[in-house]
Amino acid sequence: MIITIDGPAASGKGTLASALSKLYKYAYFDTGMIYRAVGLKAVLEGIDLTDEPKVLEIAKAMTFEKMMALSSHPDFRSDIGGQSASKVSAITSVRAALLKMQQDFALSPVFADGTKAEGVIYDGRDTGTVVCPQADIKLFMVASPEVRAMRRFKEFQAKGIETTYEKVFEDMKARDKRDSERQTAPMKPAVDAIIIDTSDMDPKAEIDYVVSLIESKLK
Ligand code: C5P
């Protein structure tokens, strides 16, 4: 079983993916992490994010191990991490260099401890359109920019990351624009994706709804 969950930042992809992964024991691949890893590594090395050859070199050398090591950096999940991920992800050659690593995960999905999983859940922007167009279930999550910015602002506050709601809102708008207008693999629902608006949706109702979709596929 392959499930793809795409959509903009803070639309509820991660929460849903984690819940489904626990429920069905499917491995979960948060594909944004690889773009965050490439972007953050470039920032830490003082590389200009528009310097394609240098960013591409980092992308080609990216591995799961390096990604996990970078994920503990304080800026991995901050606005800096999000914006730098969005900038490097707009480079066509960088996306191409990171595609196989994402696609290969579905061939033999495993959990972090190496145990085999029965299925895989991808979370990203293009996982239903480019990474896994053959997925069994494709979801595209949406929510109003105000709701998403408030969710992200609260997450940052809980993690002790200093910012303001206004800054989070502006950064999110810039990221949405870049992600949906880029030439390669722009963020958009696959033609056969089910669109879920989580703005006013109760998380439990959302999970129940997706579980019913999975159950009917499994039958
Ligand atoms: O999902 P997350 O916010 O961690 O993603 C960070 C950035 O990585 C996104 O804003 C987007 O630019 C990029 N991304 C992408 N394709 C994916 C996942 C993430 O371009 N499949």
Reading the chain (219 residues) residue by residue, the pLDDT tens digits are 999 999 999 999 999 999 999 999 999 999 999 999 999 999 999 999 999 999 999 999 999 999 999 999 999 999 899 999 999 999 999 999 999 999 999 999 999 888 999 899 999 999 999 999 999 999 999 999 999 999 999 999 998 888 999 999 999 999 999 999 999 999 999 999 999 999 998 888 889 999 998 998 888
Q: Which pLDDT does position 68 carry in this prediction?
A: 95
Give strand pairing partners of 56: none
Q: Ligand 1: list residues with CB < 6 Å.
A: 9, 31-32, 35-36, 82, 85-86, 89, 124-127, 175, 179
Q: How far is the CA of 185 from the centre of ligand 1 (A)?
A: 11
> Which positions ≥6 away from 132 have C-beta within 8 Å?
2, 4, 103, 106, 122
Residue 66 in contact with residue 116, Cβ under 8 Å?
Answer: no
- Tokens standing for 103? 């696609």
Residue 112, C-beta contacts closer than 8 angstroms, at least 6 positions apart: none
Cα 44 from Cα 117, distance rounded (Å)? 34
Strand partners, 142: 197
Q: What is the pLDDT of residue 202?
A: 86
Residue whose Cα lies nearest atom 21 of ligand 1: it is 124
Number of H helices and E strands in the chain, helices first, is: 9, 5
pLDDT at 86: 95
Six-digit token pair at 98?
A: 């990171």
pLDDT at 112: 84
CA of 9 to the centre of ligand 1 (A): 8
**Helix 203-218 crosses helix 13-24 at what angle (to 10 degrees)?**
50
Q: How many alpha carbons lie under 13 Å from residue 80 in its C-beta half-sphere?
A: 12
Please give the Cα distance from 28 to 25 (Å, whole number).
Answer: 9
Q: What pLDDT score was predicted for residue 174?
A: 93
Query: Which residue, by CA, sits nearest to atom 19 of ligand 1?
Result: 32
User: What is the reported pTM?
Assistant: 0.95
Q: What are phi and psi of 39, to 5 degrees?
A: -65, -45
- Please tell me the residue having the least CA distance from ligand 1 atom 9: 86
CATH code for the structural domain at 2-218: 3.40.50.300
Q: Are 16 and 141 in contact (CB under 8 A)?
A: yes
The answer to whether 29 touches 168, Cβ cutoff 8 Å, is no
* Coil, strand or helix at 75: coil
